[in-house]
Each structure stands twice: as structure tokens, then as C-alpha cells.
Amino acid sequence: MIERSNPLLLPFETLYDTAPFSSIKSNHFKPAIEECIKIAQREIDTITNNTENPTFENTIEALDFSGSLLEVVTSIFFNLNTAETTEEIQVLAKEIAPLLSNYSNDVLLNTTLFSRIKKIYHHKKDLNLNDEQNMLLERTYKKFTRNGANLDDESKTNLREIDQKLAVLKLNFGENVLAETNNFELHITNVEDLEGLPTINKKAAQELAKSKGKEGFVFTLDFPSYIPFITYVKKRELRQIMAIAYGSKAFKGNEYNNQENIKKIVELRHKRAKLLGYDSHAHYVLEERMAKTPTDVNIFLNDLLKKALPAALKELEQLQQFAKKDGIETLEKWDVAFYSEKLKMTRFNFDDEILKPYFKLENVVNGVFKICDILFDLKFEESFEIDKYHPEIRTYKVTDKQDNFIAILYTDFHPRKGKRNGAWMTSFKNQFIKNGKNSRPHISIVCNFSRATEDSPSLLTFNEVKTLFHEFGHALHGMLANTTYRSLSGTNVFWDFVELPSQLFENWCYEKESLKLFAFHYLTNEPISDELIQKIKESRIYLEGLATVRQLSFGKLDMAYHANAAVKIDDVKDFELAAFENTQLFSDIKENCVSTSFSHIFQGGYSSGYYSYKWAEVLDADAFEYFKLNGIFNKEISTKYKNTILSKGGTIPPMDLFFQFTGKKPSINPLLKRANLIN
């Protein structure tokens, strides 16, 4: 009966086998996932019950292709849980997470399955495997050993318990952050209190208030509301209210407090790592990263800090002296964005409000499409036949110049209740090749950009333009994937390599040749001037020292939590302050705590990996220098980039891919020069 009534368990009779969102109800998910687990388990049983000698094909390859339906259904579920969640979905997530954790452990702790894998692994030299097959074998073997395959039965039971607890704790963490974001609003009735705030942001706040049945203006902690407020509102006490509200998410001592969740997550991660024979969670994670050890990461972070800190202190002093003209004796965190923007206006005679009219959302999206056409021969055709999970979503069929089908792209650009803050790329289906058929991916970009108002279209800040390019860089990594195996496809690469395509693509935001393709004034259609482009380029390094130190501080906090198995956290805030000791440039706000809403490391996949943003900047600065030397639209270079970095996924070690593309190992100098941290 389940199979006949549940659309998740039926063949998707849709265009390009896309998810049939309009047919899916919340109550379909749990029974579908339970059934998918049974199907996947039967596929595992077929492997383990095979009486033939284990081979790469009947074991390693068969294992990689197993669980494909489960992967599709869980992708749909968890993507909805971040972009279009409901109370019902959140309850289901807590019930589903342990099921998936149990299934994963059933596979990874299956002694019969592992014995087959081990036999193949120990005879790999005799198998004449290609690079991709070798990588799949290596990754499969490590996946099992790194998840307890060599443990005794008692330790395996302990591992299962830890994984189940972690799955629920991470969900709780994210739900608390979302609840705290949704529960806050600042209601202002006096328009004079909003002096300095651009008209378009006032209008958006007014429309939000109206939608809530209120007079005046409503501001929230969603980025399109929070960032303009903290950047432009002159009234300091109101900026302070917003900054404290934003920084105190899940740190108020209420039912959404994340401090205990953090302590438990960190403790369980360390226990898990020790159980598996590693010194710490960071040692465990970094074994599968380009940076191999916590020592390597800390050396990298400290080397950058030595270069960035003097510049940051100099910039801070300049900012403080500038703020003193307004009578601000001590610059606080709620002053930084405001005075940074004012100083930028003074120094460069332009700000985001001057730029925004040139960055109409639709124009920027079309600009990205044009750049992808020039670089990679990609065409984007909007489709109105593909099902969507929300009416605001737009869907595109992506093809190459020979009209070959490449991918489906979903775009989801605006904040709403039930959607977490930030921006991310994800997939509903990964690319793979099976039985000679290249199954193409379904990729999604999710952002939180300002909506159109009654008076104007959605106009992006330059930072939002960068965000769109960043996520599109990830999307290219997913869309242009061309590997045999799902687990090695697209963004399934080492975590400190995955940000290279995204951060590299940001560089086209700064170049005259690319900006002239899409930056037109939304009222006059006038192209952006060379003068403004030059100011964009000059402002790129504006306060770069402060920005770098801030990013490094998050990397250091991440490592503090995860690099020492003996760590004892009595008080989350005290622990955080100790981790920030060498990077703390502003006085502490006692009501605030970064950790309690640091979703990247406590809910997402960045634990022991937050350093990778700066690591990838080293790679992207070096790679883009290669483009610049040969022309940013050089077809030979872009084709080489597509055929190495973008298409190969995790089939080849990332340092080898980088070398194949640039012909050399990465150097830190291009980044230091770009950031003006060295001459």
C-alpha cells in the first residue's frame, strides 16, 4: 500500500525525473525513508550474500550504487528542512535522523561487508584499476575504518549510541537558531528613528509591518533586514539593540539556549574520535583534508594572523579616529558596520546605495548566465513545467552548445518564515554514470536577498552580488560533474578544496569585462561606469585586515573546540573568549556569544574545517592570477578549468588537480598581494 500511495516511492514521472514537490506531503517522508532503508539494506544483503569472490565490481561499485533512492528522498527532506521547514518537518527530522544514523552504522559496521572490502583493498595492486576506481576503493576502505569497522562489538555499540545522539543534537542546535531568528522583531513607529536607512529598506520594513497587521516598520534578524539596519541607521541605541539581538541568538537562558547542546556535541565528537583511535575530533577530520593535522591548520592560521593583525590594528585606529568626529570615544561592535560604510563613502565617494541600482537581481542572474556561456558554453533556459517546493522558486534547464542536457538548476532567492539565514548550494540529485547512461544532476542555489517592493525591483548590494557568484561557483561544480560514481561527483571533494570553485568565481564580480555584461542601472539602463568599477576594485581591500582577522578568529574558535580531546568546557562564553584572546579587537558584549549560533560547525559540516575558507582563498587567488595572466575569458584556460577542477569531483587528489590546472603548487603570495597585506 505504501508504494502505491507515496509519491516518494513511485518513479518520478516528471520532466528530467525532478522531484514531484506538489504531490509530496510531510507525512510521506518517514514511511518513505523507512521503506528506502529496507530497499537499501536488501541491496547491501545482495553484496554480502554473493558467494563469488569479492571483486571491485560486485562489491565496491555495487556498494556505491546502493541506496540511490534513499539518497534522493533524504536530499528532498533535508533540503526542505533548511529552505521550507515547518513544525511538522522539524518533528519528523528528529525521528528520521536516528533512523538514518542506525542505517549508516548498520552498513559501516557490517563485518561481512567490510571483510569483502578489505580483501579487495589489500589486493588493489593486482586489479589494474583506473584513477577513479582507485580513489573509490581508497575512499570506501577509509570510510569503513574511520567509522568503526575495526572496532570490537562493545565499541561498535558505543559508536552507534554516539552517532544517534549527535544526529539529534545537531538538529536541535539548528532548530534553536532558527527559532531565535524567527522570534525577534524590532517594531519602530517613528520614521525619524530610521535616519540614514535607505528608502528601499524602509519600504521593505513597512511592507513587512503591514503584512503583520502593524503600523510603522518591522525589522528582523534575516540578513536583508539586519545588514542594512546595522550599516545605515544613525541612531546608535537602535543599532545596539539589533546587534545584541543578533549576537545573543540561542544564548538567552531560555528554551532555545544552545550552550548545553554545544557541550554535548563537543564531548561526543571527542569521545567518538578517541574510540576510533584519533587524538581528537580535529585529528579525525583533518586526516581527509588537504591540511592534514591540527598543527598544520594552526600554523596556517597563525602565519596569516601575523600578516593581517598589524593591518587590522591600523585600520581599527583609523576607524576609531573617524568615529571620534561623531563623539564616539570607544568603537563598539554595533558601530563597526556603520562607520566602516561612512568611512568608505568618505574615502571612495561611493557606497552600496550608489551601486545597488546597477545590480537588479534578474540582471545579475542573467549576467552569471552570460559569463557561464562565455567560459563553459552553458545555456540556461527557464522551465515552467518543473515542479517547485515554493512559488518563488525559478527552475532552469541547463544545456551545452550542442544542446546536450547538463543539469536542472533551482534558484530560491528571498527570505521567508521556515527558511534559515545565509546562502548555500545543494543538490536534489547528484551526477553519476550507470549502465552507460550519464544521469545528470539537479542543483539548487538558496539565498536570502532583499525582495522587490512596490516601488522597485530586488536590488542587490555588492556583497549580495558576491554571494550569488559564490554559490554559483559551487553550482558549477555540481552541474559540470562528469564522474562515474556518485560519491566522487561534483562537490564530493575534500572540504578544504570545496570552496575553491565558489571563491574563484567571485573574482568575476570585480572585473570590467564581466561587470559590463550585466551591471546596468535598473531605471536608465545605463551601464556601470569605469569610475565605479575602479572604485569597486579599490574598495576590495578596504578594511581587509579586519575582515581577515575576523575570519581567522572563527577558524581558531573551531579548532579550540575540536583539536584537544582533553578539552573541558565549564562555560561556553568563557571558553570562547579564551579562544578569541589573540584576535579580539573590540570589547566584549556580555549578552552575546558567537558559538551558540555558529551553525557552520555545530550543525553543518565545517567542524574542524572553518579554516578552509581562508585556505581556499589561497587557492582561488593563485588560480585567478593564472586566469588574469591569460585573460579572464580565455577559452583555453576556462576549458582546462572545466575539465580538471569542475568535472573531476573527488576522483583525483585536490593538490594534483590544482597542479594539473595551473602547472604549479599554490602559493600564499597572490592572496597576500590581493589583500594588500604585503607589497
- β pairing state of 405-412 and 442-446: parallel
- 3-state secondary structure (DSSP) of residue 456: coil
Listed residue (594, 612, 604, 608) closest to 565, CA to CA = 608
Residue 4: band (very low, low, confident or very high) from pLDDT cuts 50, 70, 90: low
| pLDDT recorded at residue 352 | 82
Residue 605: band (very low, low, confident or very high) from pLDDT cuts 50, 70, 90: confident
Out of 71, 341, 464, 471, which one is annotated catalytic? 471
Question: What's the mean pLDDT when you consider all of the chain?
Answer: 94
Catalytic site includes residue 471: yes
What is the rounded CA–CA span in Å between residue 499 and residue 658? 13
Q: Is 54 exposed, middle or buried (0-12, 13-18, 19+ CB in 10 A)?
A: buried
Q: Which residues contact 157 (CB under 8 A, 6 or more apart)?
A: none
Here the cell at position 520 is 546596468
Residue type, 414: H
Please say if the pLDDT value at position 267 is more than 50. Answer: yes
How many C-beta neighbours within 10 Å does residue 259 have? 17
- The H or E element containing residue 426 is strand 424-429
What is the rounded CA–CA span in Å between residue 328 and residue 237? 12
Share of the chain above pLDDT 90, in %: 90
Q: Is 437 exposed, middle or buried (0-12, 13-18, 19+ CB in 10 A)?
A: exposed
Residue 30: band (very low, low, confident or very high) from pLDDT cuts 50, 70, 90: very high
Interval 630-663: pLDDT, tens? 999 999 999 999 999 999 999 999 999 999 999 9
Note whether 32 and 73 are within 8 A (CB): yes
Here the cell at position 486 is 556518485
CA dihedral 627, 631, 632, 638 (to 10 degrees): -70
Domains of the chain, each with CATH number or no CATH:
2-150 (1.10.1370.40), 184-247 (no CATH), 357-494 (3.40.390.10)
For the segment 231-238, the average pLDDT, to the nearest whole number, is 97
Work out the angle at residue 628's Cα, subtended by the Cα atoms of residues 627 and 629, and round it to the nearest 5 degrees: 95
Interval 474-513: pLDDT, tens? 999 999 999 999 999 999 998 889 999 999 999 999 999 9
- Greatest pairwise CA separation for the chain in angstroms: 82
Interval 61-70: pLDDT, tens? 999 999 999 9
- 3-state secondary structure (DSSP) of residue 497: coil
What is the rounded CA–CA span in Å between residue 139 and residue 168? 26
Rg (CA), the chain: 25
Please say if the pLDDT value at position 679 is more than 80. Answer: no
For the segment 264-274, the average pLDDT, to the nearest whole number, is 96
Here the cell at position 674 is 590581493
Alpha helices in 18-130 (DSSP H): 26-48, 62-65, 68-83, 87-108, 111-122
